[in-house]
Structure 1
Amino acid sequence: MIREDLRSRRIAVIADFVVNPGSALYGKRQAPPTDFMDALVERGWGIMKMPPHVARLESCERLIEVSVGDLIDYRKNGYNVVIAAVEDLPQQGLWLDAMAACFRKVGKDMPPIVTIRSNATAADADALDGALAPAA
């Protein structure tokens, strides 16, 4: 069983690009840091960062499988999970096709997907909160 923590039983799956916008991995595509991550933390969201979308899929497949397994466990234990897909990145910055294949493989539905911008701000955090409103 997962012990209680400060995340309000909510997990946001986030692209590495959003967590590390200034990384050298992204070359000219680097984005300035915004208040999006701070807003999620202030609202009690837990964060699961996916592998960088610029890596080779072969080097990320196992990590994606493990991450999907963790997300399934979180949901089974009463956590709400939302995927924050970045609208202007390949695979929305999250390896969405590979994630979907992993969920299908075990017969589980993907969590809700909310589309954000690569330069997401605190206002974009509202969309993640909103994705949980019907489930609450």
Structure 2
Amino acid sequence: MIREDLRSRRIAVVADFVVNPGSALYGRRQAPPTDFVDALITRGWGIMKMPPHVAKFESCERLIEVSVGDLIDYRKNGYDVVIAAVEDLPQQGVWLDAMTACFRKLGKDLPPVVTIRPDAAATDADLLETALAPATCPQPE
């Protein structure tokens, strides 16, 4: 039996860059919308942070595979899952190509992908909720 939790059975996959925009890993790159993570939390979304997009793929490959397995399990158990990609970052900041390959290898569909633009045009909470709405459709088993 699955216990209910504070995430309202919703998980957003986010880039390390979104969670840790001030990290020295990213230098002076423009930060993503600052209220994105706050809006997710306010709306009860759980967050799965992916490894930094600036890391070597070889050091992240196994973690990406495990994360995809976890996402498949979440969806199998009725959770809504969305991937929040960051426009203009390699691999959209979430290792999107690698995640897509893992889902394909396992014969599963990639969860819906929402693109975050660093220009702050997508930071309005109402627009954010609308952008995440595709993730709330029934998930395949």
Q: Which blocks of at least 5 consecutive residues in structure 1 are unaligned?
A: none
2:54 maps to what in 1? Answer: 54
The amino acid of 1:24's aligned partner reads A
Cα offset for 1:32?
6.9
Please say if 1:121 is aligned against 2:123: yes
Work out the CA distance in 1 between the residues paired with 2:20 and 2:138: 30
Please say if 1:26 is aligned against 2:8: no
Q: Which blocks of at least 5 consecutive residues in structure 2 are unaligned?
A: none
Work out the CA distance in 2 between the residues paired with 1:60 and 1:29: 22
CA distance 1:2–1:122, shift in 2 (3 Å): farther
Work out the CA distance in 2 between the residues paired with 1:73 and 1:32: 29
Work out the CA distance in 2 between the residues paired with 1:32 and 1:109: 27
Work out the CA distance in 1 between the residues paired with 2:73 and 2:50: 16
Between the two proteins, the alignment pairs up a number of residues equal to 136
Work out the CA distance in 2 between the residues paired with 1:2 and 1:22: 36
Work out the CA distance in 1 between the residues paired with 2:32 and 2:93: 16
The amino acid of 1:105's aligned partner reads K
Cα offset for 1:82?
0.4
Q: Which has the higher helix share?
A: 1
The amino acid of 1:131's aligned partner reads P
TM-score using structure 2 length: 0.87
Cα offset for 1:97?
0.8
Cα offset for 1:106?
0.8
**1:86-105 alignment runs, 5 A limit:** 86-105=86-105
The amino acid of 1:129's aligned partner reads L
TM-score using structure 1 length: 0.90
